[in-house]
Amino acid sequence: MHTANPQQLLEQAQLIHTSEAVEAAITRLSHELTEALADACPIIICVMGGGIVFAGQLLTQLKFALEVDYVHASRYQNKTVGKTLTWKALPKLDLTNRTVLLVDDILDEGITLLAIQEKCLELGAKKVLSAVLIEKQLDHVKPITADFVGLEVPNRYVFGYGMDAYGWWRNLSAIYALPS
């Protein structure tokens, strides 16, 4: 796949979830999260950079007291295969005895989300939950299960709504897959 032409990349991609399906999933998740966390006064931690679009849309629909922070840990660095986990930013808020909700774009292999969950517990969080917009269906068990899942996708490289393909198209309002 030629990465220098982002328009060609999009034209060759397959639509997996429409904008309307993504919006409906986020609204459903906001109701589930409100029911689960309304009395917890949680810290919502956006997992950068992919989680930013999802977190931004989700946060506007949460009608309870919360604090917002972020963490940046990456395995992909604009590639389509994850390598070694790189920590770029840790949460700034004190997590001691707090309920934390990690908000991420995708639960793929689960390695990054598990590492972030473990780091939050190490930093004193009493409970760490996770909400992902997308869960990739794999043929093996993942080391972590998301507590809240918006949509599922097949085992293909997907992009849009915060997820990139070679650094491009995080800004799409729908979810696409690279050609198989």
**Domain with 127 in it: what CATH number?**
3.40.50.2020
In angstroms, what is the C-alpha Rg of the chain?
16
Is the model's pLDDT at 80 over the cut of 70? Answer: no
Six token digits for residue 89: 């930013």
Residue 133 lies in a domain: yes
Specify if 5 maps to a domain: no
pLDDT of 74: 78
Q: How do strand 127-136 and strand 148-153 relate by DSSP bridges? A: parallel
How much is the pLDDT for 84?
Answer: 79
Which pLDDT band holds residue 1 (cuts at 50, 70, 90)?
Answer: very low
pLDDT in tens, 20-44: 999 999 999 999 999 999 999 999 9
Per-residue pLDDT, 83: 65
40-58 as b/e, with b when 16 or more CB fall inside 10 Å?
bebbbbbbbbbbbbbbebb
C-alpha to C-alpha distance for 110 and 128, rounded to whole angstroms: 15
CA distance 46 to 104: 6
Q: How many domains does the chain have?
A: 1
Residue 11 lies in a domain: no
Average pLDDT over residues 145-155: 97
Q: Which helix (H) or strand (E) holds 46?
A: strand 43-48
Cα 125 from chain centre? 20
DSSP state of 173: S
Cα–Cα distance, 22 to 96 (Å, whole number): 33
Phi–psi pair at 157, nearest 5 degrees: -80, 115
20 part of a folded domain:
yes
Q: Read off the pLDDT band of 2 (50, 70, 90).
A: very low
Q: Do residues 177 and 154 lie in contact, with contact meaning Cβ atoms separated by under 8 Å?
A: yes
Answer whether residue 109 is part of any domain.
yes
Q: Mind listing the pLDDT tens digit for each residue in 4-14? A: 689 999 999 99
* Residue range of the domain that includes 173: 16-75+85-177
> Does residue 100 lie within any of the structural domains?
yes
80: its two tokens: 């389509």
The Cα–Cα gap between 43 and 54 comes to: 16
Residue 65 has pLDDT above 90, yes or no: yes
- Extract the tokens encoding 83: 């390598």
* Inside any domain, residue 2: no
- The pLDDT tens digits of the residues spanning 101-134 come to 999 999 999 999 999 999 999 999 999 999 999 9
46, part of any domain: yes
pLDDT over 80 at 79, yes or no? no
Share of the chain above pLDDT 90, in %: 86
Q: What is the DSSP letter of 164?
A: -
